[in-house]
């Protein structure tokens, strides 16, 4: 019996949205402070009904062998029984062309 590849659900922040991707490979990347995601799963569902967010993700990640997500952007990584639908969720924040620079959370120094 052939071993089945594990399936992972990766939830992360990207440019004011929350992305939910399903992939077969998730590793600590060779680049420091990045999570490496490979073999992203896009379900081949009915061609009659199209989900705009999944189509946007499919076009955004077309031709990508592996992607590196900054560690501070990752919300959660789960190993799941079967894949779901990839999607982009709006966070409710105002859209703009300015993205805040991530600030590390360090405790303040005492005097």
Share above pLDDT 90 across residues of the chain, in percent, rounded to a whole number: 35
Domain count of the fold of the chain: 1
Range(s) of the domain holding residue 61: 15-43+55-90
Mean pLDDT, residues 40-66 taken together: 76
Instruction: List C-alpha distances in Å: 82 to 2, 15, 16, 58, 107.
Output: 17, 27, 27, 19, 40
Rounded to whole angstroms, how far apart are CA atoms 3 and 100? 43
pTM of the entire predicted model: 0.72
> What is the rounded distance in angstroms from the CA atom of residue 100 to the CA atom of residue 66?
25
67-99: per-residue pLDDT in tens?
Answer: 999 999 999 999 999 888 888 887 665 555 666
In-domain check, residue 34: yes
Alpha carbon distance 54, 76 (integer Å): 19
Does 2 reside within a domain?
no
Task: Tell me if 68 is assigned to some domain.
Answer: yes
pLDDT at 49: 57
């Amino acid at each position: 019996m052939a071993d089945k590849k594990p399936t992972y659900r990766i939830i992360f922040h990207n440019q004011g949205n929350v992305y939910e991707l399903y992939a077969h490979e998730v590793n600590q990347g060779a680049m420091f402070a990045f999570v490496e995601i490979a073999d992203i799963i896009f379900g081949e569902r009915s061609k009659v009904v199209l989900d705009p967010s999944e189509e946007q993700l499919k076009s955004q990640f077309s031709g990508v062998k592996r992607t590196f997500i900054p560690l501070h952007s990752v919300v959660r990584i789960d190993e799941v029984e079967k894949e779901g639908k990839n999607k982009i969720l709006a966070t409710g924040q105002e859209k703009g062309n300015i993205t805040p620079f991530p600030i590390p959370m360090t405790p303040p120094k005492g005097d």
